[in-house]
Structure 1
């Protein structure tokens, strides 16, 4: 499936393809009136507590620590999880943390720098480097917990944070295993478009627009924002993946007021780092630590997972989930292979 380049650009950075409708947006806000409401139910086998920790740049990150109520051992294996790109910990990453804590792990789901409840100004910007570092900051925190075996720490990255997770593990040798679901290489799609179809002329135009936007931001003394990455309403003739994103982020299913993809926007210069600083150049250096890559059979993003699987070194595994689209692996419990994730980490966090 070939996806128009302008859709990729507008969804990730410029945000000009769709107009928001105030009344409809407000109705979505009313879906979750509680500031901390989650898009899933906390397991009665798990406890959750809010935590704060800093990354190497001194940015304070906000996380939720999920703990099994009846641990089998004094020292437990631990996981750090984040994503999707533009989401918050009360959405998919928290659901993953909840499920894995049920299976005996200490799990930290966190908001990346500049988003959600985490620190950093201006709000809603992304960085190839800082978002990679966020995972290592989470590993720092987990390794200091008295109930965590710091020699048994793994990472799960969802969507765009699948790419950042792999990038983090390639440099952070403390992490013993890494899994991704519905993985995106955000810097790749930012700089090259979907399926690498962005040509030099198109890329140059985008970079020129961002460069001129910096003058506007400098003169105003603040960042200017585009529109929400996802449309507030759909007509029905959009590409299927846009309908899928709408179904998750803009409905009761997955809406959250702090989520950029639900209710906010990236800065208009958000692509500056992402388009100029690729990740995954050193993915082979994850070896001999294992990689598990999970993607939906019908996901528009499937090619990211398949491409990474081809270049990664052994040990590695690619698992394709039948009849699944990209967002199915955000929250569909019947499709996300949590037992497989448990087996993978239990066998490899040694």
Structure 2
């Protein structure tokens, strides 16, 4: 149990962060009232056009913040197919997940993008927990909510997972057969990377890092300070020196061009106890739904999509669609790659939902 001093310190820290976050959020709201940071985002709901509805619901006692997008001319007396969109690691619903949700709504689907529990605008303490079981439950929770949304045909439900959300979408779909069509974009196998390092660069330090995660868990359970891994801010010089496209372009996307106060690369060190023993590629033979996996030809993460795709031996009409010339992060925002990916996604969902 945390002692009173520790609790007070956490509350003071929380209030200070909330005040700063509120100031930053106000600036974001000046640009978009829904705090959406992607190009072409909805700025107001208009009759006869795609609309956005911020919603909240409880999932295992935690309040989840989500955005529901409805197609132009939406009529609750009709029956629409729906798509659940799972955001990347470090991402939130107002970034690329929102972009793809909005564009799919433009194609006639009801869509939902939610912040993961413990992250973004959703509740849950301590902040920035990033555990696979929780992220998978987030996807199921979105399915729960949107399946009961007026006008949605619960028998025509698809899922799109982006980056880390892609790995979790695959895992959710292995058991949750409400998802009739499964798609990923720039899939990132969070467990493999946290265990082996990006591009298998940290295999030699697995045991050392497991020890660090174990110590962090022990400190938390004793009421001590929560230890975080990841990056909370980055300088222009640090960005320029980053060698991999994923992280260099990722820093630019999350901290410069598409920055949002709710988005962070931080996660609790103790989360590694679960992340490092998890792998998106296991159980892929359980997916018997139609499967579409999209990745950029120049993405330094493409090896993860390739590893997983070959293991989906029972998926119906599975397809690997490669965006020629695209890096991982460019699939999040660059118009030509987004348009190509969406064209393929719409074709996929029209065929299978």
User: What's the TM-score, normalizing by structure 2?
Assistant: 0.83
Gaps of 5+ in 2: 1-20
**Residues 74 and 29 (structure 1), Cα distance of their counterparts in 2 relative to 1, 3 Å cut:** closer
Report the counterpart of residue 187 of structure 1 in structure 2: 191
Matched, 1:68 2:71: yes
SS at match of 1:208: helix
- In the aligned structure 1, how far is the partner of 2:126 from the partner of 2:28? 25
- Deviation (angstroms), 1:280: 3.6
Q: How does 1:138-287 map to 2 (within 5 A)?
A: 138-199=142-203, 201-226=204-229, 228=231, 231-235=234-238, 236-239=240-243, 240-251=245-256, 253-261=257-265, 265-287=266-288
- In the aligned structure 1, how far is the partner of 2:144 from the partner of 2:189? 24
**Residues 152 and 115 (structure 1), Cα distance of their counterparts in 2 relative to 1, 3 Å cut:** same
- In the aligned structure 2, how far is the partner of 1:347 from the partner of 1:53? 31
> How many residues end up aligned between the 2 structures?
318
Matched, 1:316 2:318: yes
Report the counterpart of residue 19 of structure 1 in structure 2: none
SS at match of 2:267: coil
Matched, 1:297 2:301: no
- In the aligned structure 1, how far is the partner of 2:336 from the partner of 2:178? 32
Q: Is the 8 A contact 2:36 2:95 kept in 1?
A: yes
Q: Is the 8 A contact 1:210 1:269 kept in 2?
A: yes
Report the counterpart of residue 126 of structure 1 in structure 2: 130
Farther-moved stretch of structure 1 (315-324 vs 271-280): 271-280
Q: Is the 8 A contact 1:47 1:68 kept in 2?
A: yes
Greater share of residues in helix: 2
- Deviation (angstroms), 1:52: 1.8
- RMSD over aligned CA atoms reads 2.4
- In the aligned structure 2, how far is the partner of 1:107 from the partner of 1:241? 27
- In the aligned structure 1, how far is the partner of 2:279 from the partner of 2:337? 31
**Residues 197 and 307 (structure 1), Cα distance of their counterparts in 2 relative to 1, 3 Å cut:** same
CA deviation digits over 1:236-273, x for unaligned, max 9? 3321332211221111x210000013xxx222222121
- In the aligned structure 2, how far is the partner of 1:152 from the partner of 1:192? 37
- In the aligned structure 2, how far is the partner of 1:154 from the partner of 1:234? 41
**Residues 187 and 160 (structure 1), Cα distance of their counterparts in 2 relative to 1, 3 Å cut:** same
Q: Is the 8 A contact 1:88 1:110 kept in 2?
A: yes
Q: Is the 8 A contact 1:78 1:154 kept in 2?
A: yes
Q: Is the 8 A contact 2:298 2:325 kept in 1?
A: yes
Q: Is the 8 A contact 1:213 1:268 kept in 2?
A: yes
Matched, 1:32 2:28: yes
- In the aligned structure 1, how far is the partner of 2:106 from the partner of 2:114? 18
CA deviation digits over 1:21-51, x for unaligned, max 9? xxxx9x9888636584111221862111111
- Greater RCO, CA 8 A, separation 6+: 1
Farther-moved stretch of structure 1 (28-37 vs 204-213): 28-37
Report the counterpart of residue 18 of structure 1 in structure 2: none
Report the counterpart of residue 136 of structure 1 in structure 2: 140
Q: Is the 8 A contact 1:230 1:245 kept in 2?
A: no
- In the aligned structure 2, how far is the partner of 1:321 from the partner of 1:230? 30
- Deviation (angstroms), 1:53: 2.5
Q: Is the 8 A contact 2:25 2:35 kept in 1?
A: no
Q: Is the 8 A contact 1:182 1:329 kept in 2?
A: yes
SS at match of 1:270: helix
